[in-house]
Structure 1
């Protein structure tokens, strides 16, 4: 398989830093070094940014870390990590049971809850997805684009359809997912070309598209057809279908999808039985954005 590689930066880019930081990461080695792009900006709070870098260093694979481990992972000095953890601990967002290995605390959930309850798209999407899941007994999601990834902002799941446990806030690569391709297909031309010039098309399965030219053609067809169907490109056995969600101005601001087990759910079924439901849900969700 011919894998297209368009950048020399490490693939372990921190996914949820602000989009303004992403370009800097392309030529840097650590999350902390990306903050150098804002050096000299009197309005940029470096201490706050460092705290966010520390928070985002905790993952499902690394839920507990020492100061030394966090320093290596983030690129921040041990002293800076220690001050960030001290502040987060005092505020109840982090802690260390044994005094050395830190982890995030449940109070972190208040931050995500604030987003989901204050964001019109997220709060409006959840009941729509739940209603569809109850009627169709399938798993549905809504996501937006953040850098090179999609981010789940609403989700219902009637069964485990992926090896990873997806939830609100989960991130997946845009290029090999149905929701990601919807969001890419409706990007302004200059933004799409910038994305295609830098993205690293990693083959997650033998079906993953790893050619920029082929991906560009697929995105063109998606825009023409009005939906994206991704067949086992991110994970073997996973098939998904997505449609765009439009704002009143006609801009695609999100995407809604159905995901299911490939042996159980055929492509024909998705296109004939489920596509109309997805389009109706997307239209309903668009009403809340007016």
Structure 2
């Protein structure tokens, strides 16, 4: 939980968002005790926050377990509606997805996570449900590594410090030294490929989207688990993904340098 000593700081707001942030894709339904532990609150305080948020319509529950209610979408919908990048990117993602017959997505970096802001799905089956607003640990994903590689070293290391580095699958690169080497490699070559590191059957390749010299987002194409690498990656998928990212950048008022 973020702490501040500023005189204007309202701790109850901090605690409210800590309670809301306790609900994740991995833990969508939580008990009072689980929320208390996740938000660093006493059980009594957690219960008061949960009951208040339920009365306001942001949570639903039966008193034993709670979950986010549809009204909680209002918190992020204003941000998404004001973000022009997804709308500008959608035609290019549709073309890319249809061309490659794969899912194409765009993510931004939020703390130590990536957040999907645009996604065009292909008919191919993917082993996890991913949609706009889904969050994944940045270090374990192709888009996340592209975005981490664009940060100043101190900022990138700080985000890794706050990350839960652990093996999600047998393929996960979670040793910190090896992970730093990989992120450095992503920085040098300008793209990242991750093969079944976060979820078995889920692989992807990603490239950055720029605003001037600044990386503002990452674009990704899923890789079919039967043939995720090989000539198709370097000769077909990566060039078309780069072309799409450059087109999105141009439509976003961006001129990619170099």
TM over 0.5: yes
1:87 aligns with one of 42, 45, 52: 52
Per-residue deviation, 1:182:
0.9
Segment of structure 1 superposing worse, 212-221 or 254-263: 212-221
Query: 2 CA distance for matches of 1:106 and 1:231?
Result: 34
Query: 2 CA distance for matches of 1:199 and 1:120?
Result: 29
Is 1:285–2:258 an aligned residue pair? no
Conserved 8 A contact 1:116-1:123: no
Per-residue deviation, 1:258:
0.5
Conserved 8 A contact 1:51-1:84: yes
What does residue 253 of structure 1 align with?
Answer: 216
Conserved 8 A contact 1:148-1:195: yes
1:189 aligns with one of 153, 159, 168: 153
Deviations 1:138-183 (A, max 9, x none): 1011112223222222112224654321122222222232112111
Q: Give the direction of change, closer, same or farther, for the CA distance of 1:198–1:104 in structure 2 (3 Å limit).
A: closer
Higher share in strand? 2
2:230 aligns with one of 258, 261, 267: 267
Q: Give the direction of change, closer, same or farther, for the CA distance of 1:211–1:58 in structure 2 (3 Å limit).
A: closer
What does residue 57 of structure 1 align with?
Answer: 22
Q: Give the direction of change, closer, same or farther, for the CA distance of 1:60–1:224 in structure 2 (3 Å limit).
A: closer
Is 1:233–2:212 an aligned residue pair? no
Is 1:157–2:121 an aligned residue pair? yes
Conserved 8 A contact 2:195-2:228: no
Could you say what secondary structure the match of 1:273 adopts?
Answer: helix
Segment of structure 1 superposing worse, 106-115 or 122-131: 122-131
Q: Give the direction of change, closer, same or farther, for the CA distance of 1:267–1:190 in structure 2 (3 Å limit).
A: same
What does residue 10 of structure 2 align with?
Answer: 45
Could you say what secondary structure the match of 1:43 adopts?
Answer: coil
Per-residue deviation, 1:222:
2.1
Conserved 8 A contact 2:137-2:163: no
Query: 2 CA distance for matches of 1:277 and 1:245?
Result: 14
What does residue 141 of structure 2 align with?
Answer: 177
What does residue 166 of structure 2 align with?
Answer: 202
**RMSD after superposition:** 2.6
Q: Give the direction of change, closer, same or farther, for the CA distance of 1:44–1:131 in structure 2 (3 Å limit).
A: farther
Could you say what secondary structure the match of 1:168 adopts?
Answer: coil
Per-residue deviation, 1:246:
0.6
Structure 1: any 5+ residue segments left out of the alignment?
A: 1-33
Q: Give the direction of change, closer, same or farther, for the CA distance of 1:234–1:105 in structure 2 (3 Å limit).
A: closer
State the TM-score, normalized to the length of structure 2.
Answer: 0.84
Is 1:134–2:127 an aligned residue pair? no
Per-residue deviation, 1:60:
3.7
State the TM-score, normalized to the length of structure 1.
Answer: 0.76
Could you say what secondary structure the match of 1:166 adopts?
Answer: coil
Structure 2: any 5+ residue segments left out of the alignment?
A: none
